[in-house]
Amino acid sequence: MAAVCQPRRALMEIPAPQPKIEARFRRSYLEILSAPSPLPRGRNATSISKRLQSLDLWSGRIHEQCEKMDEHHTPLSKQQLVQLIRSLILVEQSQDPKTLASDLKYLQEDLQLKKANVYRSIPYSRFGSNRDAHCYRKAYPHLVAFKVSCQEWGQVLLRNKEWDSVLEHTLMAWRITSELPQWDTASHNALREQCYNILATHSLTALQHYRPTPNRGRELLRRFKMAQFHCQSIAPCVQELQRILGQTDNPSMDTN
Protein backbone atom coordinates (compact mmCIF):
# COMPACT_ATOMS: atom_id res chain seq x y z
CA MET A 1 0.00 0.00 0.00
CA ALA A 2 1.56 3.30 -1.06
CA ALA A 3 2.08 5.98 1.59
CA VAL A 4 0.02 9.09 1.16
CA CYS A 5 2.24 12.20 1.08
CA GLN A 6 0.69 15.28 2.71
CA PRO A 7 1.97 18.80 2.00
CA ARG A 8 4.27 20.06 4.70
CA ARG A 9 2.97 23.08 6.58
CA ALA A 10 5.17 25.96 7.52
CA LEU A 11 5.60 26.37 11.25
CA MET A 12 5.68 30.15 11.04
CA GLU A 13 4.89 32.63 8.35
CA ILE A 14 7.65 35.12 7.67
CA PRO A 15 6.18 38.60 7.28
CA ALA A 16 7.12 40.80 4.41
CA PRO A 17 10.04 43.15 5.15
CA GLN A 18 8.96 46.46 6.57
CA PRO A 19 10.11 49.69 4.92
CA LYS A 20 12.95 51.48 6.63
CA ILE A 21 11.98 54.26 8.98
CA GLU A 22 14.01 57.43 8.85
CA ALA A 23 15.99 58.09 11.98
CA ARG A 24 14.56 60.78 14.23
CA PHE A 25 17.02 63.35 15.37
CA ARG A 26 16.66 64.65 18.90
CA ARG A 27 15.31 68.17 18.86
CA SER A 28 17.20 70.84 20.67
CA TYR A 29 15.78 72.65 23.68
CA LEU A 30 15.29 75.87 21.74
CA GLU A 31 13.39 74.06 18.96
CA ILE A 32 11.00 72.61 21.51
CA LEU A 33 10.43 76.05 23.03
CA SER A 34 9.83 77.69 19.67
CA ALA A 35 7.30 75.04 18.56
CA PRO A 36 3.73 76.42 18.85
CA SER A 37 1.49 74.58 21.30
CA PRO A 38 -2.22 74.11 20.43
CA LEU A 39 -4.64 75.99 22.63
CA PRO A 40 -7.64 74.11 24.06
CA ARG A 41 -11.11 75.16 23.07
CA GLY A 42 -13.92 76.03 25.41
CA ARG A 43 -14.12 78.07 28.57
CA ASN A 44 -10.39 77.81 29.26
CA ALA A 45 -9.48 79.62 26.03
CA THR A 46 -10.26 83.06 27.50
CA SER A 47 -8.26 82.48 30.68
CA ILE A 48 -5.30 81.12 28.73
CA SER A 49 -5.30 84.13 26.42
CA LYS A 50 -5.14 86.41 29.47
CA ARG A 51 -2.23 84.40 30.82
CA LEU A 52 -0.42 84.72 27.52
CA GLN A 53 -0.95 88.49 27.58
CA SER A 54 0.56 88.71 31.06
CA LEU A 55 3.36 86.45 29.86
CA ASP A 56 4.12 88.93 27.09
CA LEU A 57 4.43 91.68 29.70
CA TRP A 58 6.91 89.58 31.64
CA SER A 59 8.85 88.91 28.45
CA GLY A 60 9.06 92.64 27.79
CA ARG A 61 10.56 93.19 31.22
CA ILE A 62 13.02 90.38 30.63
CA HIS A 63 13.96 91.95 27.29
CA GLU A 64 14.73 95.20 29.11
CA GLN A 65 16.95 93.30 31.53
CA CYS A 66 18.81 91.71 28.62
CA GLU A 67 19.57 95.13 27.14
CA LYS A 68 21.21 96.19 30.39
CA MET A 69 23.53 93.17 30.42
CA ASP A 70 27.04 93.24 29.05
CA GLU A 71 26.90 92.10 25.44
CA HIS A 72 30.22 90.29 25.75
CA HIS A 73 28.76 87.91 28.34
CA THR A 74 25.56 87.01 26.45
CA PRO A 75 25.89 83.51 24.95
CA LEU A 76 22.43 83.52 23.31
CA SER A 77 20.58 85.99 21.18
CA LYS A 78 17.90 88.09 22.84
CA GLN A 79 15.14 86.19 21.08
CA GLN A 80 16.50 82.82 22.23
CA LEU A 81 16.95 84.09 25.77
CA VAL A 82 13.39 85.39 25.90
CA GLN A 83 12.09 82.07 24.61
CA LEU A 84 13.97 80.21 27.33
CA ILE A 85 12.75 82.40 30.15
CA ARG A 86 9.20 82.40 28.76
CA SER A 87 9.12 78.65 29.34
CA LEU A 88 10.32 79.08 32.92
CA ILE A 89 7.72 81.73 33.70
CA LEU A 90 4.90 79.86 31.95
CA VAL A 91 4.47 77.63 35.00
CA GLU A 92 4.16 80.68 37.22
CA GLN A 93 1.35 82.15 35.14
CA SER A 94 -1.05 79.27 35.90
CA GLN A 95 -2.59 81.33 38.71
CA ASP A 96 -3.04 84.94 39.66
CA PRO A 97 0.37 86.48 40.51
CA LYS A 98 -1.10 88.27 43.53
CA THR A 99 -2.38 84.99 44.94
CA LEU A 100 0.96 83.31 44.35
CA ALA A 101 2.94 86.14 45.89
CA SER A 102 1.02 85.84 49.16
CA ASP A 103 2.26 82.25 49.47
CA LEU A 104 5.94 82.56 50.38
CA LYS A 105 6.31 78.79 50.25
CA TYR A 106 5.58 78.88 46.52
CA LEU A 107 8.07 81.72 45.99
CA GLN A 108 10.71 79.72 47.84
CA GLU A 109 10.06 76.65 45.69
CA ASP A 110 10.24 78.84 42.59
CA LEU A 111 13.68 80.20 43.51
CA GLN A 112 14.91 76.76 44.54
CA LEU A 113 13.85 75.42 41.14
CA LYS A 114 15.66 78.20 39.29
CA LYS A 115 18.77 77.63 41.39
CA ALA A 116 18.61 73.92 40.55
CA ASN A 117 18.33 74.84 36.85
CA VAL A 118 21.54 76.85 37.18
CA TYR A 119 23.44 73.87 38.53
CA ARG A 120 21.89 71.46 36.01
CA SER A 121 23.08 73.64 33.14
CA ILE A 122 26.73 73.48 34.26
CA PRO A 123 28.68 70.71 32.46
CA TYR A 124 30.58 68.69 35.04
CA SER A 125 32.31 66.26 32.68
CA ARG A 126 35.18 68.61 31.95
CA PHE A 127 38.91 68.41 32.57
CA GLY A 128 39.15 72.03 33.63
CA SER A 129 37.20 74.11 36.13
CA ASN A 130 33.41 73.99 36.04
CA ARG A 131 33.27 77.64 37.09
CA ASP A 132 35.04 79.06 34.05
CA ALA A 133 33.64 81.26 31.27
CA HIS A 134 32.32 78.31 29.26
CA CYS A 135 30.21 77.02 32.16
CA TYR A 136 29.08 80.55 32.95
CA ARG A 137 27.71 80.95 29.42
CA LYS A 138 25.73 77.73 29.87
CA ALA A 139 24.21 78.92 33.15
CA TYR A 140 23.70 82.56 32.16
CA PRO A 141 20.05 82.31 30.96
CA HIS A 142 19.05 80.55 34.18
CA LEU A 143 20.87 83.16 36.27
CA VAL A 144 18.87 85.86 34.49
CA ALA A 145 15.65 83.95 35.21
CA PHE A 146 16.63 83.79 38.89
CA LYS A 147 17.25 87.53 39.00
CA VAL A 148 13.96 88.33 37.26
CA SER A 149 12.04 86.22 39.80
CA CYS A 150 13.68 88.03 42.72
CA GLN A 151 12.82 91.41 41.22
CA GLU A 152 9.29 90.75 39.95
CA TRP A 153 7.89 88.89 42.96
CA GLY A 154 9.36 91.48 45.34
CA GLN A 155 7.65 94.24 43.37
CA VAL A 156 4.35 92.35 43.49
CA LEU A 157 4.58 92.16 47.29
CA LEU A 158 5.39 95.86 47.46
CA ARG A 159 2.40 96.75 45.29
CA ASN A 160 0.21 94.65 47.59
CA LYS A 161 1.67 96.53 50.60
CA GLU A 162 2.57 93.26 52.31
CA TRP A 163 5.50 94.78 54.14
CA ASP A 164 6.26 91.90 56.46
CA SER A 165 6.11 89.43 53.56
CA VAL A 166 8.58 91.61 51.66
CA LEU A 167 11.08 91.26 54.52
CA GLU A 168 10.53 87.51 54.72
CA HIS A 169 10.92 87.20 50.96
CA THR A 170 14.15 89.16 51.09
CA LEU A 171 15.68 86.98 53.79
CA MET A 172 14.58 83.80 52.04
CA ALA A 173 15.81 84.91 48.61
CA TRP A 174 19.02 86.27 50.17
CA ARG A 175 19.92 82.82 51.50
CA ILE A 176 19.18 81.12 48.17
CA THR A 177 21.19 83.77 46.31
CA SER A 178 24.18 83.02 48.52
CA GLU A 179 23.97 79.39 47.34
CA LEU A 180 24.48 80.31 43.68
CA PRO A 181 27.85 79.23 42.21
CA GLN A 182 30.90 81.44 42.56
CA TRP A 183 32.58 81.97 39.18
CA ASP A 184 36.29 82.16 38.51
CA THR A 185 36.00 85.54 36.78
CA ALA A 186 34.96 88.33 39.13
CA SER A 187 32.81 90.10 36.54
CA HIS A 188 30.70 86.96 36.13
CA ASN A 189 29.48 87.33 39.72
CA ALA A 190 27.75 90.62 38.85
CA LEU A 191 24.32 88.96 38.59
CA ARG A 192 24.62 87.73 42.18
CA GLU A 193 25.45 91.24 43.37
CA GLN A 194 22.51 92.64 41.40
CA CYS A 195 20.17 90.19 43.15
CA TYR A 196 21.51 91.33 46.52
CA ASN A 197 20.99 94.99 45.63
CA ILE A 198 17.44 94.36 44.39
CA LEU A 199 16.45 92.50 47.56
CA ALA A 200 18.02 95.13 49.81
CA THR A 201 16.14 97.90 47.98
CA HIS A 202 12.85 96.04 48.45
CA SER A 203 13.45 95.61 52.17
CA LEU A 204 14.46 99.23 52.67
CA THR A 205 11.29 100.37 50.91
CA ALA A 206 9.18 98.09 53.12
CA LEU A 207 10.85 99.33 56.30
CA GLN A 208 9.95 102.91 55.39
CA HIS A 209 6.25 101.95 55.67
CA TYR A 210 6.34 99.17 58.26
CA ARG A 211 6.76 99.37 62.04
CA PRO A 212 7.18 95.86 63.48
CA THR A 213 6.57 95.02 67.11
CA PRO A 214 9.64 95.00 69.38
CA ASN A 215 9.89 91.20 69.39
CA ARG A 216 9.43 90.97 65.65
CA GLY A 217 11.89 93.82 65.09
CA ARG A 218 14.61 92.16 67.18
CA GLU A 219 14.12 88.89 65.32
CA LEU A 220 14.40 90.65 61.96
CA LEU A 221 17.47 92.56 63.12
CA ARG A 222 19.21 89.34 64.13
CA ARG A 223 18.45 87.70 60.78
CA PHE A 224 19.48 90.78 58.78
CA LYS A 225 22.80 90.90 60.63
CA MET A 226 23.39 87.26 59.66
CA ALA A 227 22.59 88.12 56.04
CA GLN A 228 25.18 90.89 56.21
CA PHE A 229 27.95 88.25 56.22
CA HIS A 230 27.05 87.36 52.62
CA CYS A 231 26.89 90.91 51.27
CA GLN A 232 27.12 94.41 52.75
CA SER A 233 24.24 95.67 50.60
CA ILE A 234 21.88 94.83 53.47
CA ALA A 235 23.65 97.31 55.82
CA PRO A 236 21.14 100.18 55.22
CA CYS A 237 18.31 97.82 56.24
CA VAL A 238 20.16 96.95 59.45
CA GLN A 239 20.59 100.64 60.25
CA GLU A 240 16.91 101.34 59.53
CA LEU A 241 15.82 98.49 61.80
CA GLN A 242 18.07 99.76 64.56
CA ARG A 243 16.51 103.20 64.21
CA ILE A 244 13.00 101.74 64.34
CA LEU A 245 13.81 99.67 67.43
CA GLY A 246 15.38 102.72 69.08
CA GLN A 247 12.18 104.69 68.55
CA THR A 248 10.12 101.76 69.85
CA ASP A 249 12.17 101.47 73.02
CA ASN A 250 11.91 105.27 73.55
CA PRO A 251 8.35 106.32 72.63
CA SER A 252 9.11 109.96 73.49
CA MET A 253 11.55 110.09 70.55
CA ASP A 254 8.89 109.02 68.06
CA THR A 255 7.60 112.19 66.41
CA ASN A 256 5.14 110.38 64.09
Enumerate domains of the chain plus CATH numbers: 50-206 (1.20.58)
pTM recorded for the entire structure: 0.63
Q: Which stretches in the chain have pLDDT values below 70?
A: 1-102, 126, 247-256
pLDDT at residue number 52 = 46
d(CA 36, CA 58): 19
Can you list the pairs that 55-62 forms with residues at least 24 positions away whose Cβ atoms lie under 8 Å? 55/86, 55/89, 55/90, 55/93, 58/86, 58/89, 58/93, 58/148, 58/152, 59/85, 59/86, 59/89, 61/148, 61/152, 62/86, 62/144, 62/148
pLDDT at residue number 190 = 94
d(CA 52, CA 60): 12
pLDDT at residue number 224 = 96
- Do residues 177 and 195 touch, judged by C-beta distance below 8 A? yes
pLDDT at residue number 255 = 39
pLDDT at residue number 248 = 64
Q: What are the Cα distances from residue 42, in Å, to 46, 47, 205?
A: 8, 10, 43
